[in-house]
Amino acid sequence: MTEAVSSPETLPPGVQRVVQALQALGHPHGPRMLDDAARTAQQAADALGVQLGQIAKSIIFRRKEDDAAVLVITSGDRRVDEKKVAALVGKIGRADAEFVKARTGFSIGGVSPVAHAQPSVTLIDRELQRFALIWAAAGHPHGVFPLQPQDLERLTGAPWADVVQETPVP
């Protein structure tokens, strides 16, 4: 299932950055490496044996006015409402894989909420507060780390926001 990371220097570079950031921010839990890739929230939930909503998805958009990366951390069982996000941060568009990698330093499917290559405008989905424990990507499709929803605010400095569609993911 999962294996706690014991030797950070053997990890992929993205996961090493996340380990360093979590340690610097005083987070008590490091990344765990999954046996199989968890590129989607459903794959991560299945691998961890948790509810889909406990997966903190990192969705990256491109803000049109200044080309900034906009990170929306949302519950795995919810879909981002782009109009709600745009009302908070300005007009946004889709971010392709090249943009995501350049701005965050991570590939799609492994974007962590921390340790981005460049600062991102970040919003946290209020729906994550439904859970006592959540899991976020740790810089690689096989890497995840556990945290409490309130840890996201402390780790990212981002505000809680209503950023999802009214209807949950089926």
Is 30 inside any structural domain?
yes
DSSP state, residue 79? -
Phi-psi region of 32 (alpha: psi -120 to 50; beta: other; left: phi over 0): beta
CATH number, domain of 59, equals 3.90.960.10
Range of the domain at 66: 2-161
- Host H or E run for residue 8: none
Identity of the residue numbered 74 = T
Looking at residue 8, what is its pLDDT?
60
**Residue 167: inside a domain:** no
What letter represents residue 166's amino acid? E
Write out pLDDT tens, residues 5-19. Answer: 445 668 899 999 999
What pTM did the predictor assign?
0.91
- CA 24, CA 5: separation in Å to the nearest integer? 17
Residue type, 135: W
Q: How many domains does the chain have?
A: 1
C-beta of residue 120 within 8 angstroms of C-beta of residue 60? yes
Confidence label for 1 from pLDDT (cuts 50, 70 and 90) = very low
The whole-number average pLDDT for the span 93-106 is 97
**Owner of token pair 């943009």:** 99
> Smallest Cα–Cα separation from 68: which of 88, 93, 97?
93
User: Whole-angstrom Cα distance, residue 25 to residue 37?
Assistant: 26
Tell me if 170 is assigned to some domain: no
